[in-house]
Amino acid sequence: MQETFRVKTRKSQEVVDITRPVAEAVARSRRDEGICTVFVRHATAAVIINENADPGFRADVVTALDRLFPQGIWEHDKVDDNGAAHLKAAILGPSESVPIQAGRLLLGTWQGIALVECDGPREREIVIDIR
């Protein structure tokens, strides 16, 4: 089963919790066991699994990425002025997979699934693949 949903980001860089729509898709799939892959169809956004309870962590992700990949020093900036955004997304990756057990995502207590916007604000398309 595959589903697609969209997220409209509000900032140039942000981390958006998408755990709920993914969990709802798993529930609709009626899969008792399997794997759920979450994939963002863009080159300047990423999907991560990490701390979900502390909003400060989401800010830390943005800060850490900015320190690793400063603006304005990349070859791609000559083409589209968003080289840092592409590098951030490339390092994080466009997808994550989560096991399904008893019809639910098998995430840890503090884990959540998040979209990392690296070049917004934009509308991002996310594909959920459940097998």
Round to whole Å and give the CA distance between 81 and 71. Answer: 8
**In angstroms, how far is the first alpha carbon of the chain from the final one?**
7
What pLDDT is recorded for position 52? 87
Quick one: average pLDDT of 96-121? 98
| 111-117 vs 33-40, strand pairing mode | unpaired
What pLDDT is recorded for position 24? 98
Quick one: average pLDDT of 122-129? 99
Q: What is the pTM of this model?
A: 0.96
Quick one: average pLDDT of 3-8? 99
Element (H, E) at 110: none
Homologous superfamily (CATH) of 2-130 is YjbQ-like (2.60.120.460)
Q: List pLDDT tens digits, range 26-77.
A: 999 999 999 999 999 999 999 999 998 898 999 999 999 999 999 999 889 8
* Percent of the chain at pLDDT exceeding 90: 92
What pLDDT is recorded for position 8? 99
Of 75, 96, 97, nearest to 86 by C-alpha is 75
What pLDDT is recorded for position 123? 99
